[in-house]
């Protein structure tokens, strides 16, 4: 038995190596596309598997579940959901410049609806994919690698004839890096490739005479044309996209805005978010020009209609939509792809350069294979033609041979020992024969009808064609211009068959500027009932309905319409509410749940204090918790821009019982659930930061908790209820903070 060997190593080194291996695996084998075919491994494997299964564009559709299962079992052992998702995206016209898969069934929608389960949908290869991405696989033009369990072989890269990385773009998040490449127009990209092949010194600026900019499947308008040159040179930057907005006249002099194209970044949930944002602009009175908004989009395309009131400022409203919603959005470009086995950020010219190098490599391997095939044909043809000239001798050899081996030896090496000849002349002539192995085999396999005169003529004609092919292929392989012309001719064919018009406009547009409607500042009254429905009314309306308002509402306070309200909850959070976000109207209007305009969640939190944010500027707030902890905090700590902050720190299982404005001249009475009361001066409560827990205010017995906090001025009568008793708080004996308190009798 061999002694086991323990290898000692630094733990950090093992972690470092393992993490780097993992990161590179994700980068190279999962998330990033290859610059040569523009495909991620999952896309490449799915397309190759469909090719192997024979699911061609001219064959019937097959269930996606079959495709996904076969791909996972043979090539991509990473789960069916990632394979199906890749398959779906390759079939979605609104995501890809050119679809690679022809889908049949529900493959999702531009509005974010997901595709049906793979057992319901069907697919087959698109004609473009079969013709341009998978052609010539049988001509040894790419390398094949063993699959994950070495039972199959898969292509290292697909022989794609067009720069798919630019045409279909790419998105992927790896470890520590991400790729985001926009889609481009097939015709423009092909023209740029041809221009580069004719002059490899061409600049990015000159290439952009052909590639105007991104061409998104959703259309839209790229509005920062001048920034595109630096983006295409560096491979990184930001593209600004706007939706296309048209103005339509309606009856009665009214107008409506019709959005027929959207930014590429709005695909999916972004459309619903846009509709909500426009609704919010009208609801919060940011604009009063919008009468109605409706989404009339269908399979025919996007159509979002915004009806305007008569006399609306159309330009100002359009600019508001650009500024306040995702109708104008940014597409972050980072043209990162795997080149030579390494991730690399590349500019436009570099991507085209890699593509052209790849095309020459493919063409070289293809024409070497074709040349070899033609040379083999030439060898056989010449053997058959030579055999026709001495056919009588060959027949004599075959008749005089005892075996195929003897006949073949005579044909190739002139061995006549084991063959019977009719004459010595025939034997001498047979000894001079020197056919090659391949020619001899062809002669042995030849059928008698090949000796017919017409067949011999056809053989000679075929031989001439073979010689022409050999000359052509040798010229292509030995002459750069000839090979370039072949590649360009193929690109022209692809452009003619599959090209389409540009969908995205590229221009320099002015920055969207709109005049925000100035709000007249006024004092109003905030009302919120016990169900959490809030609204604001003007001061006069409150005074007219004061009695009803006071009895029906839990919180009432005066505030400015341009201000903010602070909502403190039992969980120790403070939520801010803009007063303008609340509906302003009549006293009998219902209002809206305060949850709708803040981060406050009425299902998980309870409001313990509500005030005007301006009130806190010069105030100090007392915080008291269920476990009897106290502190006071300067109000300026709550003058923040965030909608939600942690207002205090809480111990485990503790919660805020009370928050109130406190001054040092007040008296504090803490009332526990079990009826203990402790009175002490407010000056004994220490001032802390909002991130502190505080100090103990009252010593509570087991299972007891702080119930209420009373604040009153010295000499002022203040009463509190406990059970059926009424306790006069100002008659309680003054004690020290952190005492147990007393339980009043009788």
Q: Can you state the angle between helices 186-198 and 348-389, rounded to 10 degrees?
A: 70
**Nearest to residue 100, comparing CAs of 143, 69, 35, 55?**
55
**Nearest to residue 45, comparing CAs of 27, 17, 19, 68?**
68
3-state class percentages of the chain: helix first, strand second, coil last, to nearest 5:
40, 25, 35
Cα–Cα distance for residue pair 235/181, rounded to 1 Å: 9
CA 428 to chain centroid, in Å, comes to: 79
E strands in 649-730 = 656-661, 666-672, 677-681, 695-696, 706-713, 719-722, 725-728
Would you state the structure tokens that stand for residue 568, as one six-digit string? 């403190």
Strand 221-222 relative to strand 505-506: parallel, antiparallel, unpaired? parallel
Cα–Cα distance for residue pair 246/230, rounded to 1 Å: 31
- SS3 string, 381-399, reads HHHHHHHHHCHHHHHHHHH
Would you state the structure tokens that stand for residue 410, as one six-digit string? 């005579």
Name the helix (H) or strand (E) containing 178. strand 178-181
Would you state the structure tokens that stand for residue 18, as one six-digit string? 């393992």
The 10 Å Cβ neighbour count of residue 430 is 21
Bridge-partner residues for 344, per DSSP? 337
Our separate counts of H helices and E strands in the chain read: 20, 34
Residue indicated by tokens 């025919």: 300
- SS3 string, 611-624, reads EEHHHHCCCEEEEE
Cα–Cα distance for residue pair 16/474, rounded to 1 Å: 52
Q: Which residues are catalytic?
A: 120
Cβ neighbours of residue 694 under 8 Å, at least 6 residues apart?
623, 625, 629, 630, 631, 648, 686, 688
Q: Can you state the angle between helices 64-74 and 41-53, rounded to 10 degrees?
A: 110
User: Are the C-beta atoms of 648 and 572 separated by less than 8 Å?
Assistant: yes
Would you state the structure tokens that stand for residue 20, as one six-digit string? 């780097």
CA 407 to chain centroid, in Å, comes to: 69
CA 249 to chain centroid, in Å, comes to: 37
**Nearest to residue 196, comparing CAs of 536, 488, 612?**
488
* Terminal Cα distance for the chain, rounded: 90
Q: At 35, phi and psi to the nearest 5? A: -65, -25
Cβ neighbours of residue 295 under 8 Å, at least 6 residues apart?
271, 275, 303, 304, 305
User: Are the C-beta atoms of 99 and 126 separated by less than 8 Å?
Assistant: yes
C-alpha dihedral, 317 to 319 to 321 to 323, nearest 10°: -140
**Nearest to residue 604, comparing CAs of 570, 627, 645?**
570
Would you state the structure tokens that stand for residue 317, as one six-digit string? 């409203």
C-alpha dihedral, 300 to 305 to 310 to 312, nearest 10°: -120
Q: At 137, phi and psi to the nearest 5? A: -65, -20
User: Are the C-beta atoms of 63 and 367 separated by less than 8 Å?
Assistant: no
The 10 Å Cβ neighbour count of residue 560 is 14
User: Are the C-beta atoms of 621 and 630 separated by less than 8 Å?
Assistant: no
């Amino acid at each position: 038995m061999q002694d086991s060997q323990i290898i000692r190593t630094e733990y950090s080194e093992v972690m470092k190596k393992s993490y780097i291996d993992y990161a590179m695996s994700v980068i190279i084998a999962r998330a990033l596309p290859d610059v040569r075919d523009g495909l991620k491994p999952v896309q490449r494997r799915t397309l190759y598997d469909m090719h192997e299964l024979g699911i061609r564009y001219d064959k019937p559709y097959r269930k996606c579940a079959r495709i996904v299962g076969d791909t996972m079992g043979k090539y991509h052992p990473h789960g069916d959901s990632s394979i199906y998702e890749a398959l779906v995206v390759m079939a979605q016209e609104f995501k890809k410049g050119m679809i690679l898969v022809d889908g049949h069934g529900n493959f999702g929608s531009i509005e974010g609806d997901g595709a049906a389960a793979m057992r319901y949908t069907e697919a087959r290869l698109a004609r473009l994919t079969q013709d341009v991405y998978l052609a010539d696989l049988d001509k040894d033009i790419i390398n094949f690698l063993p699959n994950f369990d070495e039972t199959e072989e898969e292509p290292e890269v697909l022989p794609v004839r067009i720069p798919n990385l630019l045409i279909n773009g790419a998105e992927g998040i790896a470890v520590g890096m991400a790729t985001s490449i926009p889609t481009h127009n097939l015709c423009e990209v092909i023209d740029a490739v041809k221009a580069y092949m004719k002059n490899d010194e061409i600049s990015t600026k000159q290439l952009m005479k052909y590639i105007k900019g991104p061409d998104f499947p959703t259309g839209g308008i790229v509005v920062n044309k001048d920034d595109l040159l630096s983006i295409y040179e560096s491979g990184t930057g930001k593209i600004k996209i706007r939706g296309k907005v048209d103005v339509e006249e309606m009856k009665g002099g009214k107008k409506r805005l019709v959005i027929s194209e959207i930014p590429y970044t709005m695909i999916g949930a972004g459309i619903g978010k846009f509709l909500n944002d426009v609704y919010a602009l009208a609801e919060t009175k940011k604009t009063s020009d919008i009468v109605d908004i409706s989404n009339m989009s269908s399979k025919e395309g996007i159509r979002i209609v915004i009806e305007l009131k008569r006399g609306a400022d159309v330009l100002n409203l359009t600019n508001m939509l650009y500024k306040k919603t995702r109708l104008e959005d940014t597409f972050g470009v980072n043209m990162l792809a795997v080149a030579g086995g390494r991730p690399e950020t590349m500019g436009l010219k570099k991507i085209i350069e890699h593509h052209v190098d790849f095309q020459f490599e493919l063409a070289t391997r293809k024409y070497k294979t074709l040349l070899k095939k033609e040379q083999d044909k030439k060898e056989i043809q010449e053997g058959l033609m030579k055999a026709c000239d001495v056919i009588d001798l060959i027949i004599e050899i075959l008749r005089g041979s005892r075996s195929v081996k003897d006949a073949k030896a005579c044909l190739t090496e002139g061995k006549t020992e084991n063959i019977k000849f009719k004459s010595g002349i025939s034997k001498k002539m047979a000894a001079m024969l020197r056919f090659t192995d391949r020619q001899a085999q062809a002669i042995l396999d030849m059928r008698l009808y090949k000796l017919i005169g017409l067949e011999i003529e056809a053989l000679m004609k075929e031989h001439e064609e073979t010689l022409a092919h050999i000359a052509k292929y040798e010229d292509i392989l030995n002459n750069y211009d000839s090979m370039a012309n072949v590649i360009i001719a193929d690109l022209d064919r692809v452009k003619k068959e599959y090209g389409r018009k540009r969908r995205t406009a590229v221009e320099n547009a002015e920055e969207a500027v709109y005049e925000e409607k100035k709000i007249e500042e006024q004092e109003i009254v905030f009302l919120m009932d016990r169900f959490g429905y809030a609204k604001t009314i003007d001061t006069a309306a409150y005074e007219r309905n004061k009695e009803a308002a006071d009895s029906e509402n839990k919180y009432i306070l005066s505030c400015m319409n341009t201000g903010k309200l602070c909502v403190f909850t039992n969980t120790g959070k403070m939520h801010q509410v803009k007063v303008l976000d609340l509906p302003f109207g009549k006293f009998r209007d219902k209002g809206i749940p305060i949850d709708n305009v803040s981060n406050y969640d009425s299902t998980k939190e309870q409001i313990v204090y509500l005030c005007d944010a301006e009130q806190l500027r010069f105030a100090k707030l007392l915080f008291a918790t269920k476990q009897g902890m106290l502190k006071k905090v300067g109000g300026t700590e709550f003058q923040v821009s965030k909608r939600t902050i942690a207002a205090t720190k809480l111990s485990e299982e503790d919660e805020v019982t009370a928050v109130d404005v406190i001054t040092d001249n007040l008296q504090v009475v803490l009332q526990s659930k079990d009826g203990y009361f402790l009175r002490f001066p407010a000056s004994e409560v220490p001032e802390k930061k909002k991130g502190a827990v505080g100090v103990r205010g009252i010593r509570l017995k087991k299972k007891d908790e702080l119930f209420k906090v009373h604040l009153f001025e010295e000499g002022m009568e203040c009463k509190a209820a406990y059970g059926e008793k009424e306790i006069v708080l100002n008659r309680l004996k003054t004690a020290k903070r952190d005492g147990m308190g007393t339980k009043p009798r009788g």
